[in-house]
Structure 1
């Protein structure tokens, strides 16, 4: 029986291994590393079944850090003097509240940094169990002892790259959805066991504070479901609709790579803190229009996997075993991004470009489920603490310590993991600025966002149709030496801003292209949010402040090219403005809840019929912005160097008459 620890559980990752080994994809692990795969699956199953002698690292305890149950994590035990009452900034009770729940640090610049030690925690827990299993297997089969012990030492938590090009055709691999899985036993004989990557069953019953979450067309019965489900019907018995799950995953994969690729198209001369914020979280910033932050992109996967199920709700998401493979993948993207942009960092806030003075500091509603106040966030010190993850010295991890995975760099805090090589990129090795630029192009090209290739693919006849599309000269725009604009070519992006707490649960805005009888999904932005009844006090404060989540949906080149050509054909007086209007008219949007129910719809353009007040979506829950943006594209003579997106222009709002209920 697992016991409550007498002291904190220190999150040090796989320090027991002594050196860093790679996290690899779950498919690669299953196919090419059967020893590791067997240990990983068996260890995941053991911590889920509470067959572990440390209560703090049972799955229920680790998953509960992200939301329910609202109790202090057993690995972060506090002394009595830290449990006093009456708020004061210097009182440890308030700066180290009990229970120490911070719900994933969403809507904050610490989104990426908080989740890094969180994945390290479960990686560490599984590594400890894997070491014991390897020892037992080695005693059973002495001839395999060295292989099992080596596999346990090298085992790191795997990821699943949900944006990889093949996912649009293949969806989730069977290992992530099948109820049973084959693994080796001690003697390398195949054994079929329940698959701990497919679902999790609560041990000891459903916690008392689990509550149902309703949508306009159904309910997620979290108070009744004894295990995790994905895309469950509105039924107290619950089930996973695997067909709908695969449909949603494939549909999402068709465009999410472009959103991800756009993140690696950031210029190199932005304010570092502003750039880091645009990469990281999806909270309010009126200037954040051209990019989908990693937090917003990650929210789409929560919705695609969860549907009317656990992954769609922040309070319950971590009880789906897929959660940690998802966040290992998010961390891999962070590792690639921070490797490509090593100078971009949160610092202590934004610099105002108008007078070069510090004008904006990071703040967070601290004590997510307790006292609420607006505290400044810093990368280090007490205000940089990432609760509830403690280091061996008893202090909490801070954001500065989470940076980088460089090998043999004494300035980098040791984490004992890296990622396998990707497109020739090793995130644990330092590189020149030129190497990093070349890597950025490889990354955004791999994920399907390659503007220069799209421009080159225009036929000669199509280039004539684009001749009225203006681009500011690169020199006039002040671009670095060597950049030249691509004449008469722009990339098109729809910027979206959505109220975080509009519909009492996670929901999405979906953009579609309509031409005749054809209707094609282009992309989406998902809001990953807690319901109004959640006791998350920081969420309540953001709700009352009307917090906004933003994202960007790149329009596919084939659609834009078709519309530009059509707009210009037979119309010698066509202008950039008339073409923009023609593009907008071909677009429509919908707000959709987690069950797939359409909440509201809209047709693009200002020529649509007016909507009466009784049929119009309220301004309090309607998107704050859905607008078309375009940018010019500049490139150098070096085909290995990334392009520069510049000359951004905001055009018309897509839905000036509103959304129809």
Structure 2
């Protein structure tokens, strides 16, 4: 991971069991949908729910940091401060910050890079959602009698909204509700402008190991974002940040531009690829070989290209998830760093969307589920390479005082008391109809009959992340300064983190270059030897051949904008594949049409 640690740094506020008894994650008694923030915010119908959600977030922010039901403690489950939550430990295998981290073991509870990545986050979201709902019920009772009934009903229906950042609306920018410092709501004491809890969370204690002078927010106005090998240090009293400037202030213009720019090049193509593939092992995370076996992969991406057909256009849920973290956080932004991401409230709107996509994928492939596997990265309670399956305890989420939730018990979201509107719409119908709807929803460019994909394979232990591998088409001069607004920019592969402790681990990401090829009028059809050959010399015309070495250019850029050579970053090879759309249903790519167009080796 390449992050700075101190084994004794957090001993002054080590977590323990809650004074109010163990935290038990309970399902909701009634089923209500989680809603997209695009529909939720600014909609008069949901104003009471928004009023309660804003106040409930602030209420868990205001709880003492050592309270297991506080935002600080719940956010700390994911990564930092690498301490037990609610007394949940592994006893004999207690995590040791320095020695276990050096071996590549992850110090948080989160299952990154394992088959349990989607299911572990499900009770995590349910935990914060239920805590917010409990606060909302208490707040609703404080409203005047003429409003109380309305707010009590709203508290029953309140579920955590999600943000579908692959929606075309995101091309216009980030929803205002995540950007504005204040937000006007109706409180029990009337309409007020209050601090917007969705913009940031102010740390109650120092988090992450202090950096050298000039790299800490309290050094402003001379603050500079940290380099990519260290966590940004957030001292007590400072908020989480997104694309911070030298004054440690959010740069919303960069945030908006970055997110909106990648809707068509990264986000939609990622989900479009994912909804083609019905194998849970490949869908769930990025540590899988093309033959379906696991590889020792630390926050990597996707299978090496040992199989040509059927592997070129498939991305996992975790692959595109990683890209959003880096793009939204930016240099020095907490969302861009594995250990700290969950302290930005955006994390939970993001993972509500991840759960939605997980649920929709389940609806499209109802017979595919978690196979036996192993966890190559470990967690706070699991050693490296421990065997895991649907019956593995999803620590630290308690089902009862003595039992933890398991993936087999969170498979059906309705049994947990929530759903999504798309699931309701296609309930009881042929799963293929849902899949077709999702492919139509996220199809990047509907008019293309054939899609071209660049696969980038890199060795993940060469360069400590996070960093990007940008793909340009027909731009030999492309470098770290080449603007991403260039018509030659096709997309990127995001490497969220890496660890030199993991040897022989690989990352493979896929970029859809079809739109860029069409913009640049690069020929996509297979050449015709009769019409494309020069009648005199017999040689093929240059426009008739797709040349990977000539037409595809790789630029590796660290999160702080510094360029580095592809070889130094661990890029091994770059390949191009194409697949045609099905003649019957043009939303589907047909696997048996896969073609290989060449490789560049570094």
Cα offset for 1:21? 0.6
Cα offset for 1:580? 5.2
Query: Which residue does the alignment assign to 2:351?
Result: 327
Query: Which residue does the alignment assign to 1:404?
Result: 412
What aligned pairs does 1:329-408 form with structure 2 within 5 A after superposition? 329-348=353-372, 362-365=373-376, 367-369=378-380, 372-380=383-391, 384-392=392-400, 394-405=402-413, 407=414
Query: Which residue does the alignment assign to 2:424?
Result: 426
With over 3 angstroms needed to count, the CA separation of the structure-2 counterparts of 1:192 and 1:516, relative to structure 1, is: same
Cα offset for 1:216? 5.5
SS at match of 1:73: coil
Cα RMSD, aligned residues only? 3.3
With over 3 angstroms needed to count, the CA separation of the structure-2 counterparts of 1:211 and 1:49, relative to structure 1, is: farther
Provide Cα deviations, 1:597-623, integer angstroms capped at 9, x if missing partner.
22236xxxxxxxxxxxxxxx34xx422
Query: Which residue does the alignment assign to 1:630?
Result: 578
Cα offset for 1:51? 6.7
- Does the 8 Å contact 1:65/1:101 carry over to 2? no
Answer yes or no: is 1:154 the counterpart of 2:112.
no
Query: Which residue does the alignment assign to 1:353?
Result: none
Query: Which residue does the alignment assign to 2:141?
Result: 135
Answer yes or no: is 1:7 the counterpart of 2:10.
no
SS at match of 1:627: strand
Cα distance in 1 for residues equivalent to 2:124 and 2:522? 46
Query: Which residue does the alignment assign to 2:318?
Result: 295
Query: Which residue does the alignment assign to 1:44?
Result: 57
With over 3 angstroms needed to count, the CA separation of the structure-2 counterparts of 1:128 and 1:502, relative to structure 1, is: farther
SS at match of 2:416: coil
Provide Cα deviations, 1:65-96, integer angstroms capped at 9, x if missing partner.
1111121112x456xxx745799xxxxxx9xx
Answer yes or no: is 1:120 the counterpart of 2:126.
yes
Normalising to structure 1: TM-score of the pair?
A: 0.73
With over 3 angstroms needed to count, the CA separation of the structure-2 counterparts of 1:647 and 1:448, relative to structure 1, is: closer
Answer yes or no: is 1:246 the counterpart of 2:252.
no
Instruction: Count the aligned residue pairs.
Output: 529
Query: Which residue does the alignment assign to 2:78?
Result: 66
Which structure is larger by alpha-carbon Rg, 1 or 2?
Answer: 1
Unaligned runs of 5+ in 2: 1-15, 216-224, 292-302, 304-310, 478-485
Cα distance in 2 for residues equivalent to 1:401 and 1:218? 38
Provide Cα deviations, 1:425-484, integer angstroms capped at 9, x if missing partner.
527x64343xx2122222122212466x422xxxxxxxxxxxxxxxxxxxxxxxxxxxxx
Provide Cα deviations, 1:24-64, integer angstroms capped at 9, x if missing partner.
01232222210000100111111112279x91120100110
With over 3 angstroms needed to count, the CA separation of the structure-2 counterparts of 1:583 and 1:505, relative to structure 1, is: closer
Find the partner of 2:184 among 166, 182, 185.
Answer: 182
Query: Which residue does the alignment assign to 1:644?
Result: 590
Query: Which residue does the alignment assign to 1:106?
Result: 112
- Does the 8 Å contact 2:111/2:120 carry over to 1? yes
Cα offset for 1:649? 3.3
Cα offset for 1:369? 4.7
Unaligned runs of 5+ in 1: 88-93, 269-274, 349-361, 408-413, 456-489, 533-539, 602-616
Cα offset for 1:149? 0.1
Answer yes or no: is 1:522 the counterpart of 2:526.
no
Cα distance in 1 for residues equivalent to 2:469 and 2:462? 12
Query: Which residue does the alignment assign to 1:470?
Result: none
With over 3 angstroms needed to count, the CA separation of the structure-2 counterparts of 1:171 and 1:347, relative to structure 1, is: same
Cα offset for 1:206? 1.4
Cα distance in 1 for residues equivalent to 2:83 and 2:435? 42
SS at match of 2:168: coil
Query: Which residue does the alignment assign to 2:12?
Result: none
With over 3 angstroms needed to count, the CA separation of the structure-2 counterparts of 1:151 and 1:85, relative to structure 1, is: closer
Find the partner of 2:243 among 214, 231, 245.
Answer: 231
With over 3 angstroms needed to count, the CA separation of the structure-2 counterparts of 1:83 and 1:454, relative to structure 1, is: closer
Find the partner of 2:433 among 435, 438, 457.
Answer: 438
Cα offset for 1:563? 1.2
Cα distance in 2 for residues equivalent to 1:86 and 1:179? 41
Provide Cα deviations, 1:333-357, integer angstroms capped at 9, x if missing partner.
1111110011122222xxxxxxxxx
Cα offset for 1:194? 0.8
Query: Which residue does the alignment assign to 1:285?
Result: 289
Cα offset for 1:161? 0.5
With over 3 angstroms needed to count, the CA separation of the structure-2 counterparts of 1:378 and 1:370, relative to structure 1, is: closer
Normalising to structure 2: TM-score of the pair?
A: 0.80
Highest RCO, 1 vs 2 (Cα 8 Å, sep ≥ 6): 2
What aligned pairs does 1:535-550 form with structure 2 within 5 A after superposition? 543-550=501-508
Cα distance in 2 for residues equivalent to 1:546 and 1:404? 37
Cα distance in 2 for residues equivalent to 1:498 and 1:565? 26
Cα offset for 1:153? 0.6
- Does the 8 Å contact 1:103/1:314 carry over to 2? no
Cα offset for 1:241? 1.4
What aligned pairs does 1:474-553 form with structure 2 within 5 A after superposition? 490-514=450-474, 519-529=487-497, 543-553=501-511
Cα offset for 1:393? 5.6
